[in-house]
Structure 1
Amino acid sequence: MTQHGIIAMERLDGSAAVEAEGAFRVIYAEAFAEAPYNETADDVAAAFRRFPVQAGRRAFNAVLARTPQGEPIGMAYGFPLRSDTVWWDELTEPVPADMRREDGQRTFGLMELAVRGPWRGQGVARGLHETLLDGIGAERVLLNVHPASRAASAAYRAWGYRKVGEARPWGAGSDLHDVMLLDLR
């Protein structure tokens, strides 16, 4: 566990993340209930039906941020993309073959990064991001961000991400998201 100001950043592997699912769920439900996401209790339930499957992936990595009293305030998690990932197939416009090439180690997929409202603007998201990526060994990081989430998009750009396309990650009826890539080399 590392300290970021007065906030503790706890790294978790998949089994530890599943044990701490309640903390992840609290953060997710609060952060994604807000616009532009407007996720409902049913959306949260669906996300946490996927969570144990994601946490079971090889090299799954997660970070929980907590107050000194142990209250969960932020989270980040992801895993390396397998060679058969569909992430690149979801883009509205194709990208070059070399960009979409995956081997199970090349790209770390950042699935979620969220901070509860009262703790935003205090560097918690940056601390989560840095802690999550520390030592992952990937060449790059890939994520989807809702373009109407201006603060998140601005933070990712400030951290070095660039937009490489757009996708509807949950199918034809879902909102268009920006697909962003961070080169770690």
Structure 2
Amino acid sequence: MSQSQIRVIRLDGSAAASAEDAFRLVYAEAFAEPPYAESDAEVSAAFRRFRAQTRKSTFLGALATTEDGRPVGMAYGYPLGPQTGWWDQLLEPVPEDMRREDGRRTFGLMELAVRAAWRRQGVARRLHDTLLATLDAERVLLNVHPDSEAAVAAYRAWGYRKVGDAHPWPGAPLHDVMLLDLG
């Protein structure tokens, strides 16, 4: 299927919540694969968090679908608040100026995934660009598993740089923390 036959739309929190099944289908398929190998229980936990995240007034999502409405890819996130714990997860501390958050400075890209059959067609880039198109943020922050080589390569190609290593949640494997300056 060509990229032109894939539709990418931007969604606020309530619209994303209404499309939870589509987000979940993409997430469950993509993150069942190595290096993530997420179980059904882990997917369920991710979508309990998703429901809480979509209630944030600043939540933004993007959903890619085929012409007949089949979910192909998804991305979502929101600006980090002053009390975010994201920077506390890094193994090596970063300078205070880098850690400073005010609820607008940094957009946290929580998830970005494309189903296997639609990869390497520019869908991830379209999702990313759609999500960030009207952001009023200085930068974007994300965690990526370093063994997810295609994702790491894509983020680097899009201008992200690694700023550290972190265990983003208790029991998580080590992830690369990457930052994209939007200025």
* Code of the aligned partner of 1:113: L
Determine the C-alpha separation between the residues in 2 that align with 1:102 and 1:120.
33
Residue 22 of structure 1 is matched in structure 2 by: 21
* Code of the aligned partner of 1:147: P
Determine the C-alpha separation between the residues in 2 that align with 1:160 and 1:46.
31
Stretches of structure 1 lacking an aligned partner (at least 5 in a row): none
Pairwise CA RMSD of aligned residues?
0.7
Determine the C-alpha separation between the residues in 2 that align with 1:102 and 1:30.
33
* TM-score, length-scaled by structure 1: 0.97
Residue 5 of structure 2 is matched in structure 1 by: 6
Aligned residue for 1:18, secondary structure, equals helix
| Residue 57 of structure 1: how far off its partner (Å) | 1.4
Whether 2:173 is the aligned partner of 1:175: answer yes
Stretches of structure 2 lacking an aligned partner (at least 5 in a row): none
Number of aligned residue pairs: 181
Whether 2:40 is the aligned partner of 1:65: answer no
| Residue 170 of structure 1: how far off its partner (Å) | 1.1
Residues 1-185 of structure 1: pairs in structure 2 closer than 5 A? 5-171=4-170, 173-185=171-183
* TM-score, length-scaled by structure 2: 0.98
* Code of the aligned partner of 2:178: M
Runs of 4+ in 1 over 4 A off after TM superposition: none
Contact between 1:164 and 1:181, CA under 8 Å: does it hold in 2?
yes
User: What are the superposed Cα offsets for residues 40-62 of structure 1, whole Å, 9 maximum, x if unpaired?
Assistant: 11010000111111111131100
Determine the C-alpha separation between the residues in 2 that align with 1:142 and 1:5.
29
| Residue 114 of structure 1: how far off its partner (Å) | 0.1
Determine the C-alpha separation between the residues in 2 that align with 1:50 and 1:174.
16
Aligned residue for 2:142, secondary structure, equals strand
